[in-house]
């Protein structure tokens, strides 16, 4: 990973964001390698490797037998990994994985992410990002938080 990021970094002065795979033993170590190689920010996480089965036909539902799974079911894993990444590096981390509501997005902010990305929910509801933004605003108002940045990394452990 490091040499690839170094080659990309050498070819551009644009922002380089690296999307981290969760399919590793130590995502914090991977994050550190990415930053040392020149990443300006990180997104955590990509899809989890999984297997989905059509039991009636006893066939895998994913074309390559196994593949990337996403959506609300992966949120607890994504939150844990985003937290580990945010704790290990000094570059912005974008949280990804199972965000379906404003509260979901705010949980990623709370663990240290500076922003979030909505993915799978766009397939179910193309208005999801707008609805999530409204829910975030309502939560912030209700809790007297004037700036979203005040919530970044406030998880109490």
Which of 44, 55, 61 lies closest to 117, judged by CA?
A: 44
Q: What is the DSSP string of 69-111?
A: E-SGGGHHHHHHHHHHHHHH-SS-EEEESS--SHHHHHHHHHT
What tens digit of pLDDT does each residue of 75-92 get? 999 999 999 999 999 999
Q: What's the pLDDT tens digit per position in 27-70?
A: 999 999 999 999 999 999 999 999 999 999 999 998 889 999 89
pLDDT in tens, 88-146: 999 999 999 999 999 999 999 999 999 999 999 999 999 999 999 999 999 999 999 99
The predicted pLDDT at position 65 comes to: 94
At 137 the pLDDT is 97
pLDDT at residue 79, as a whole number: 98
Q: What are phi and psi of 35, to 5 degrees?
A: -70, -45
Q: Would you state the pLDDT for residue 134?
A: 98
Query: What's the pLDDT score for residue 126?
Result: 96
Report whether 104 contacts 121 (CB < 8 A).
no
Helix ranges (DSSP H) in the chain: 2-11, 27-36, 75-88, 102-110, 121-124, 128-142
């Amino acid at each position: 990973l490091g040499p690839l990021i170094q080659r990309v970094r050498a070819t551009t002065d644009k922002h380089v964001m690296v999307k981290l795979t969760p399919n590793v033993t130590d995502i914090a170590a991977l994050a550190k390698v990415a930053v040392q190689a020149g990443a300006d920010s990180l997104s955590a996480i990509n899809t989890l490797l999984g297997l989905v089965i059509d039991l009636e036909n006893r066939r895998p539902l994913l074309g390559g037998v196994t593949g990337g799974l996403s959506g609300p079911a992966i949120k607890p894993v994504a939150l844990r990994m985003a937290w580990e990444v945010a704790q290990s590096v000094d570059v912005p981390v974008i949280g990804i994985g199972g965000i379906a509501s404003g509260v979901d997005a705010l949980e990623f902010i709370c663990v240290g992410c500076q922003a979030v990305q909505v993915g799978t929910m766009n397939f179910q509801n193309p208005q999801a990002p707008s609805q999530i933004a409204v829910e975030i605003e309502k939560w912030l108002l209700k809790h007297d938080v004037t700036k979203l940045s005040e919530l970044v990394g406030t998880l109490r452990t």
